[in-house]
Amino acid sequence: MRIALFITCVNDTLYPRTGRAVVRLLRRLGHEVVFPEAQTCCGQLHYNTGYRREAQKLAVRFVETFADADAVLAPSGSCAAMVRDNYPRLCAPGSRLDRAAAELAPRVHDLSELLVDVLGVTDVGAYFPHTVTYHPTCHGLRLLKLRDRPYRLLRNVRGIDLRELEGSAECCGFGGTFAMKNADVSAAMAADKARNVAATGAEVLCAVDNSCLMHIGGTLRRQRAGVATVHLAEILASTEQEPARL
Amino acid sequence: MSPDHSSPGAGHAAQDRAAGHATFLGMLPFPEAAERAVGDSQLRHNLRMATRTIRHKREEVVGELDDWSALRAAGKAVKDRTLRHLDTYLERLEAAVTAAGGRVHWAADAAEANEIVTGLVRATGETDVVKVKSMATQEIELNEALAQAGIIAYETDLAELIVQLSDDLPSHILVPAIHRNRAEIREIFRDRMAAWGVAAPEGLGDDPRALAEAARVHLRERFLRSRVAISGANFAVADTGTMVVLESEGNGRMCLTLPQTLISVVGIEKVVPTWSDLEVFLQLLPRSSTGERMNPYTSTWTGVAPGDGPQEFHLVLLDNGRSDVLADEVGRQALRCIRCSACLNICPVYERTGGHAYGSVYPGPIGAILTPQLRGTASAQEASLPYASSLCGACYEVCPVAIDIPEVLVHLREEVAASPGHRAEKAAMGAAGWVLGGERRLGAAQRAASAARSVVPRRMPGPASAWTDTRDIPEIPEESFRAWWRREGAAEPAPGADPAEPGRSGGDEEGGRR
């Protein structure tokens, strides 16, 4: 299958290794990856902060860039949710953008959706000999409703020791500009999340959203907790021949 | 001078207390208030224990019902239909209440409502009133208005009593003293009860039973003495003119049945058309609020019944900003709220800050969308509330009437962002919009970031310190994804080659351009 990668601005700028892992994984599974270079950002930052006009412009760009794609992969749960859940709120009902966005939305997927629902695979032949716990980010949980998809993928990874995370459904406290505007509450939430992560004994925290991982991981690193944070794609891309480096 | 109290000088002390009642006026913006709250270890512990307990109880009893989502949809639909024809149902309610021997008063705002109630109490000649727990009267600060007129309002809900005795503010819709633990409550009873009536018994311990018994004895004397009661209502049935109050303690029922005069202050959005509409909410509310299948006391009254209960009944219908909320197509869903508190109990922000940080009788997620709508967003305090959320969506998920709180929060953020001020943020958002407005600009910004990667400090000055005070920043990569893609990612790998291998660093980034 030909898959258009929407890398997302955060991954593009700060986590290219997640993008490279996605490319490697999908090619290994026999699919073609294209990267439309006109892409930039879904507009979530502006939308969530109350800057609707700027968000609309970015939505137009996204829809135009990906209009012809058979399937769009956004390796960030909240960006996929932005397109599917919030674009309808952003567009004037019945407008051209509204119709185009609605037409495109069902073809926009998070990584676990793409693999499980579209490509029909739960065992991607990965090898990751580490103790891992999974944080099901808020937008993955409540907007995309990923349910057990990421767990099904992780359970099939060879060598993995998957640990359950206490209070997993609770927000980590990132929330985009929330982390800056309400830094104290955000830090208090991260402290509790970090405590729960540490309690699992895992050496790796995994999620489908690098923004949340940037926040939890930044907290863990500040504490010198010795827990690495990796995107689901990096675990799934890891093989015995080419194991992921932490 | 108020009637004699069981302890000497109690009348004066109570009046002083009532006059000096704490108020939500002039509160700090949310981030500053929250900074204080998250540093309070006792508060954090009390809230963690309490919210988790109620949250789990709710989850259990909601999980028992197979048709919960249908009930939730029905609750939403009934409220939406009622709000669409609010004028019709309010006039129907007025007619039914009047026909049943009650009197209906219309109050456009808090001042008008307070004036009406004060006048009604004055007309009875009484200077003491007992109160049923009510959010509407808290909202209009009725107790303070009554105190100015020399009338003392005695709260009779256990948690409201704790708040009143300690000259505190409520911090939760359902459990106003949720921020207190039983050791603190024991001290409050021991030190303050005597000034308000019957004193706490000697040697009072912190066993919940003993605390409840002390409150019972204290309140019982008050119930038997009072001739005027003030309440709110959870629902008002338009068809029959019936008021409905749900409660756990029975103290509300004492107030609703014993006095001669009953005055109910009810928000106009509390009306439901019929008893069969009410049935939906009698299932939704207890499970969502206290986590019970059914609440212990459900009191209903329709006008007056000769020889039974209060012989004079007044209904004060309160607008106080609700019509403005109704006019907002996105924001109006907040008027569906049935004040269950499920959103407070599930909210990770509320759990860490408690209710006082929200600077309103309506704290938590619902407060963050209701307060700015009722009071406007002109002041820094109200303007900060729509941002008091990480938009995690847990509140929407548990809301029994499906209020999409994150949607309204974003809508209100748009209102705040469009208002004057916030120049630094507007500049930053404008700059981000410009960079993201074109792939070349984004690429250039990424190259600049990568070039500076080795000199980025671990702790940043200025606004960025909000991040780096508690979190490390991620390491900036040598090249962005798009730079890597242009250089070598786009090329299909030869069999066995690994496209994920970063390989040579510092390659010509435009080299792979095709």
Beta-carbon separation of B437 and A58 below 8 A: yes
Q: What is the pLDDT of residues A59-118, one digit of tens each?
A: 999 999 999 999 999 999 999 999 999 999 998 899 999 999 999 999 999 999 999 999
Rounded CA-CA distance B378/B393 in Å is 26
Nearest-CA distance from B361 to chain A in Å? 20
List chain B residues with CB under 8 Å of A17.
477, 502
Chain A residues 197-236 within an 8 A CB cutoff of chain B = 214-215, 217-219, 221-222
From chain B, pick out residues whose CB is under 8 angstroms from the CB of A217: 472, 474
Are both B130 and B275 inside the same structural domain?
A: yes
Which among B290, B323, B356 is the end of a domain? B323
Q: State mean pLDDT over B187-196.
A: 97
Quick check: is B236 in a domain? yes
What does the pLDDT average to over B79-101?
98
Q: Is residue B349 part of a domain?
A: no
Structure tokens at B441: 């600009």
DSSP tag of B369 = H
**Distance, CA of A26 to CA of A236 (rounded, Å):** 10
For residue B493, name the pLDDT band (cuts at 50, 70, 90).
Answer: low
B158 or B498, higher pLDDT: B158
Q: In terms of domains, do B22 and B138 share one?
A: yes
Assembly ipTM: 0.97
Within a domain: residue B306? yes
Q: What's the whole-number mean pLDDT along residues B274-294?
A: 97
Question: For chain A, which domains are there?
Answer: 2-118 (3.40.50), 131-237 (3.40.50)
Q: Give every residue of chain A whose pLDDT is below 50, as ranges.
A: none
Return the residue of B nearest to A13 by Cα.
Answer: B480
For chain B, the domain total comes to 2
Q: Any idea what the Cα angle at residue A231 is, between residues A226 and A232, rounded to 5°?
A: 120
Residue B484 forms contact with A (CB below 8 Å): yes
pLDDT in tens, B363-395: 999 999 999 999 999 999 999 999 999 999 999
Q: Strand B228-231 and strand B261-267: pairing?
A: parallel
Whether residues B252 and B131 share a domain: the answer is yes
Cα angle: A83, vertex A88, A94; to 5 degrees: 135
Is A187 within 8 Å of B470 when comparing Cβ atoms?
yes
pLDDT tens digits along B94-131 = 999 999 999 999 999 999 999 999 999 999 999 999 99
Residues B429, B319 share a domain: no
pLDDT value for A239: 98
* B312 belongs to a structural domain: yes
CA neighbours closer than 13 Å in the CB half-sphere of residue A196:
19
Q: What is the CATH number of the domain that holds B277?
A: 3.40.50.10420
Residue B510 has pLDDT above 90, yes or no: no
Query: Can you give the residue range of the structural domain that contains B95?
Result: 10-36+81-323
Q: Are residues B433 and B290 in the same domain?
A: no
How large a percentage of chain B has pLDDT more than 90? 86
Q: What pLDDT does B15 receive?
A: 52
Q: Report which of B102, B112, B183 is spatially closest to residue B142, judged by C-alpha positions.
A: B112
Same domain as B131, residue B243: yes
B211, part of any domain: yes
* Band of residue B491 on the pLDDT scale cut at 50, 70, 90: confident
Q: Is the pLDDT of residue B4 over 50?
A: no
Predicted local distance difference test score (pLDDT) of residue A141: 97
- Closest B-chain CA to A57: B437
What b-and-e string marks burial along B294-305, b requiring 16 or more CB atoms within 10 Å of the CB?
ebebbbbbbbbe
Per CB-CB distance under 8 Å, the chain B contacts of A21 are: 500
Q: Is residue B42 part of a domain?
A: no
